[in-house]
A = this chain, B = another copy of it.
Amino acid sequence: MSGRTVTITEVARHAGVAVSTVSYVLSGKRTISAGTRRRVLDSIDALGYHPHAGARALASKRSNVIALVLPLRAGMHVPVLMRFASAVVTAARRFDHDVLLLTADEGTDGIRRVAASALVDAFVLMDVELDDSRVPLLRELAEPSVLIGFPAEPAGLTCVDLDFAAAGAQCVAHLAERGHSRIALLGAPAVVYERGTGFARRTREGFVAAVAAHRVTGVALPCEETFDEVYSTLSRLLRDQPDLSGLVVHNEAAVGHVLSALRQLGRRVPEDVAVVAICPDDVAERASPPLTSVLIPAEEVGREAVRLVMDKLDGKPAPDATLLTPHLALRAST
């Protein structure tokens, strides 16, 4: 099979109709009688026809490809990124679109280039930061875009993310309900807060607000990702506050170290210290003990981002902000 590539003309000839009729069968943009449609569809499959993407893009001014733009900083959050990416591809396919991968190496030029060359119809940006250099460019582009994460000035943009403030608050509420009155948040490395990464700050804000609301004592600390740093942070914390009994960990890479360090400091989980994590499910499940956690719903975020960008492509209005409700999964650590 597949000697040469099959064109719409051959399909038309095979089905005994005009080329335009085949096109209309495929696009559904004009009514076609059931009989003709059948014949055309049969010919399509008999010949193994696939429309030529370039020709289609040229004639229709739509490439049916969206760009997925990777974050500026590699190294953070990595496994989650992969799940986002995979979710975005899967969701895009459901709208009959493919996904072009763009890295930050090329910076804003890459975005400009693929937009200008009509390679893609729209953009999904992952892991947007508060002060993101790609954002101003997006504003002047004709192509629609959706951001995963929130920049400092999100007005007029379409952004999706987990509601991290609610996630932080939910962890506090959970620990408070369990009777813990002195708790701590171990967050991202200090540099991440300084850089102004939105999700880290928002979690902390949610934590702080909930601590006040629930009338418990809580302290939020940044947390480096080496065992030694985690160990010393924790031992200091437990020395200063011996009755600390609840811990919220929002740092995927440090989760394992936190558990090891507690073990080594002679604290049992959950008997002495209850631990809630904000991290992907697989990390929480693989920990020992498995962690009660607020999962980062990568699939859901990816799917939602694609849905929004498709709405915008169709000219439908899209809400500026979409915050996905966090869900707490109960496991052995609380």
Chain A interface (Cβ < 8 Å from any Cβ of B): 2, 5, 48, 50-58, 63, 65, 68, 70, 74-75, 78-79, 81-83, 85-86, 89-90, 93, 98-103, 105-106, 110, 113-114, 116-119, 140, 142, 225-228, 253, 256-257, 259-260, 263-264, 282, 286-288
The interface residues of chain B lying within 8 Å CB-to-CB of A57 are: 53-54, 57
The interface residues of chain B lying within 8 Å CB-to-CB of A227 are: 256, 259, 287-288
The interface residues of chain B lying within 8 Å CB-to-CB of A78 are: 78-79, 82
* In the bound complex, CA of A263 to CA of B56 (Å): 62
* In the bound complex, CA of A63 to CA of B114 (Å): 13
* In the bound complex, CA of A148 to CA of B63 (Å): 29
The interface residues of chain B lying within 8 Å CB-to-CB of A116 are: 2, 5, 48, 50
14 new A-B pairs (CB below 8 Å) besides A89-B101, A90-B103, A256-B260? A2-B116, A52-B118, A53-B63, A57-B57, A82-B82, A82-B85, A89-B102, A93-B105, A98-B100, A98-B114, A226-B286, A227-B256, A256-B256, A259-B260
* In the bound complex, CA of A259 to CA of B288 (Å): 14
The interface residues of chain B lying within 8 Å CB-to-CB of A56 are: 54
Q: Are B264 and A54 in contact (CB under 8 A)?
A: no
Q: Are A86 and B114 in contact (CB under 8 A)?
A: no
- 27 pairs, CB–CB < 8 Å, chain A vs chain B: A2-B140, A5-B116, A50-B116, A52-B58, A53-B54, A53-B117, A53-B118, A54-B54, A54-B56, A54-B118, A58-B58, A65-B119, A68-B101, A70-B86, A74-B86, A79-B82, A82-B82, A85-B101, A90-B105, A93-B110, A98-B102, A98-B114, A99-B100, A101-B101, A226-B288, A253-B286, A260-B260
* In the bound complex, CA of A99 to CA of B113 (Å): 14
Known: A103-B86, A105-B90, A105-B93. A58 touches B48 (CB 8 A): no
Give the shortest distance, in Å, between A57 (CB) and chain B (any CB).
3
Known: A50-B113, A58-B54, A118-B54. A93 touches B106 (CB 8 A): yes
Q: Are B99 and A101 in contact (CB under 8 A)?
A: yes
* In the bound complex, CA of A81 to CA of B225 (Å): 21
* In the bound complex, CA of A118 to CA of B286 (Å): 42
The interface residues of chain B lying within 8 Å CB-to-CB of A70 are: 86, 89
The residue of chain B having its C-beta at the shortest distance from the C-beta of A263 within the complex is: B264
Of the listed residues A65, A98, A99, A113, the one surrounded by the most CB atoms of chain B closer than 10 A to its CB is A98
User: Of B54, B75, B93, B114, which one neighbours A55 at CB under 8 angstroms?
Assistant: B54
The interface residues of chain B lying within 8 Å CB-to-CB of A101 are: 68, 85, 89, 98-101
